[in-house]
Structure 1
Amino acid sequence: MKTVNTYIQTIGFTITALVAFAANSVLCRIALKDDFIDASSFTAVRLLSGVLVFLVLLSFKRKPLASNGKRKAGSWKAALMLFVYAIAFSYAYVSLDTGTGALVLFGAVQLTMIATSVLKGKRLHLAEWLGVLISFSGLAYLVYPTLTTPSLSGFMLMGLSGIAWGMYTSFGRGSIDPMRDTASNFKYTVPFVAVLVLVTFPAMNISLYGVVLAVISGAFASALGYTIWYSALAGLSEIEAAVVQLSVPVIAAIGGVLFVAEAISMRLVLACILVLGGIFMVLISRWKSAKR
């Protein structure tokens, strides 16, 4: 039985992780849109900076007890999904605008995680389906003014990125030690990054500002954000974890209002109501099911 403190902790972890995801998206778009760095270099620096920050953090953390020492942290399949998500995400945003990319990415995440949940035998109630639909409608309404017909390659890459992220999230739901698992997942991406650098080295385009953006994205928004996300997943169902991520574009838009002095539009207000209302429906439905 979950306690009040557990619920509060889950909410805190979830909100923090979602803010990190929003920051990650903004950093990536800034870096790639203005050609401060190419997609492969951004991905490589992002993942390697995550590895480095974990080397520092784990040097201060006590080693696991002998009874837990046999458990292998992280996994190669999770690392592969992390790498596929990161590289496909970067290359997709070369040809997609912000709104279209967000819609394709989070649509793919929803479909992947809902399908995973159904395959595990967890059926969705009508209120949950309605909640998912309302939240996704809110996201579509928010990004509608910027929607364009996506290029086939950009659409497929962002769809692949969403599927990979949905699977990476599903792998993390059983994490016992989120920091060590996330650290290992980042460490296991190093061979993939090495191959990427060898293949794309002749076409690399790097600037100091682009590297700084990638480091911030990898060390903070990715490494720390994903660790917190794995911690949050312990208190979230598959469907809850899927639907709350629809709030990321909304959080990014609110960040634009707070930090970039963008105007508060009626579209943003209505989108927030729809997205958060749909999420609330899913959470309430899950809470009532748990009580029964």
Structure 2
Amino acid sequence: MNPVMDPAKLKTLLATCFALLAFAGNSVFCRLALGDEAIDAASFTAIRLLSGILVLVIILLLAKFIQKKQSSAELSDSEAKGSWLAGFLLFLYAVTFSYAYISLDTGIGALILFGAVQITMILISILSGNRLHYLEWTGVVIAFSGFVYLVLPSLSTPSMTGFILMTISGVAWGLYTVKGRGCTDPISDTAYNFMRTLPFIVILLVVTIQNANLSQAGAILAVMSGAIASGIGYAVWYFAIRGLSVTQAAAVQLLVPIIAAIGGVLFASEVVSQRLVIASFMVLGGIMLLVLGRAYLNRTSD
């Protein structure tokens, strides 16, 4: 048995780790910027998306150049170019994400976001006619119970406004993810979807310009969130999922709230409450049971 890891698997592992850190980084960057009032939510959203557009366009152009050079042929006119619905969902995710982090700690926000993403995708699966087995229903009940426990009256309860906004953000990202599952060119689709957020960015800035609050530190954090954690992070994630099964891709994302919570402690001086720890185990454990439950049942029924 060869103790050296297969190069392809190693690349997938490294790409997955980077992508998860990038996803968690979005929460940390946003919380640092908005929690310290270094920038307003609208400006953060606009700079984040514009930075993501710039990076993704550069990546797309480089990919086209390499592809054309390798094939010595013209690119097809039928390249993927995303959709306006996906662009709107991307913008809705980003703007509600920013406004939610005005009042949420890093770990709580990431838990609500990724919990809502998974639950949205599960509900879509159910509405599409896929029936859940008993293990999966058990996971759903545990996960929902974790959310209920998280928002019970307590000193550590997140603000209801922040909770609702982050839930909307998670639903939007879940719908965006489902819509993009069948795309043939993820990088191209993502770049064009980002570009389609431009009209929504203009409307947002026109509506909020009078309340703009911009500092150099806030702008830098927004650029890092958009260029590195979003633009490069999403591109690397699309590379990673080519080497992961659907179950693996869903399961590893459950690490993001934990990484984000650690980031909040290290960089934002936040305190992880007992309620957050218990709720995290319930939500993430429930979703993990749901994700792995079907794989287990399918394997035992074969």
Q: TM (normalized to structure 1)? A: 0.79
Q: Out of 112-121 and 279-288, give the one that drifted further.
A: 279-288
Specify the SS of the correspondent of 1:94.
Answer: coil
Q: Does 1:224 align with 2:226?
A: no
What is the 5 A alignment of 1:122-271?
122-131=130-139, 147-148=156-157, 150-151=159-160, 153-232=161-240, 235-237=244-246, 244-255=252-263
In 2, distance between residues paired with 1:209 and 1:259? 14
**How many Å apart are 1:267 and its aligned residue?**
8.8
Cα distance 1:109–1:251, how it changes in 2: closer, same or farther (>3 A)? Answer: same
CA radius of gyration, larger in: 2
In 1, distance between residues paired with 2:234 and 2:257? 17
Which sections of structure 1, spanning at least 5 residues, go unmatched? none
**How many Å apart are 1:137 and its aligned residue?**
6.7
String of CA shifts for 1:141-173, please: whole Å, max 9, x gaps.
89998732623x433322211110111111221
Q: Out of 106-115 and 196-205, give the one that drifted further.
A: 106-115
**How many Å apart are 1:227 and its aligned residue?**
2.5
Specify the SS of the correspondent of 1:123.
Answer: coil
Q: Which residue of 1 aligns with 2:20?
A: 18
Specify the SS of the correspondent of 1:73.
Answer: coil
Q: Which residue of 1 aligns with 2:127?
A: 119
Give the one of 49, 61, 64 matched to 1:62. Answer: 64
Identity of aligned residues (%): 51
What is the 5 A alignment of 1:74-93?
74-93=82-101
Give the letter for the 1:61 counterpart: A
Specify the SS of the correspondent of 2:181.
Answer: helix
Q: Which residue of 1 aligns with 2:29?
A: 27
Q: Does 1:286 align with 2:288?
A: no
Q: Out of 28-37 and 103-112, give the one that drifted further.
A: 103-112
Q: Out of 44-53 and 227-236, give the one that drifted further.
A: 227-236
Which sections of structure 2, spanning at least 5 residues, go unmatched? 1-5, 68-72
**How many Å apart are 1:133 and its aligned residue?**
5.2
- Size of the alignment, in residue pairs? 287
Cα distance 1:276–1:118, how it changes in 2: closer, same or farther (>3 A)? Answer: closer
Answer yes or no: is the 8 Å Cα contact 1:250–1:268 preserved in 2.
no
Specify the SS of the correspondent of 2:180.
Answer: helix
Q: Out of 5-14 and 58-67, give the one that drifted further.
A: 5-14
String of CA shifts for 1:243-273, please: whole Å, max 9, x gaps.
5433321122344577789999999998887
String of CA shifts for 1:164-223, please: whole Å, max 9, x gaps.
011111122123222212111111111111121122112110000000000000001111
Q: Which residue of 1 aligns with 2:44?
A: 42
**Aligned residues: CA RMSD:** 3.8
Q: Out of 39-48 and 70-79, give the one that drifted further.
A: 70-79
Q: Out of 202-211 and 72-81, give the one that drifted further.
A: 72-81
**How many Å apart are 1:71 and its aligned residue?**
3.4
In 2, distance between residues paired with 1:247 and 1:37? 28
Q: Out of 112-121 and 90-99, give the one that drifted further.
A: 90-99
Q: TM (normalized to structure 2)? A: 0.76
In 2, distance between residues paired with 1:148 and 1:267? 8
In 2, distance between residues paired with 1:224 and 1:141? 35
Answer yes or no: is the 8 Å Cα contact 1:92–1:101 preserved in 2.
yes
**How many Å apart are 1:70 and its aligned residue?**
1.1
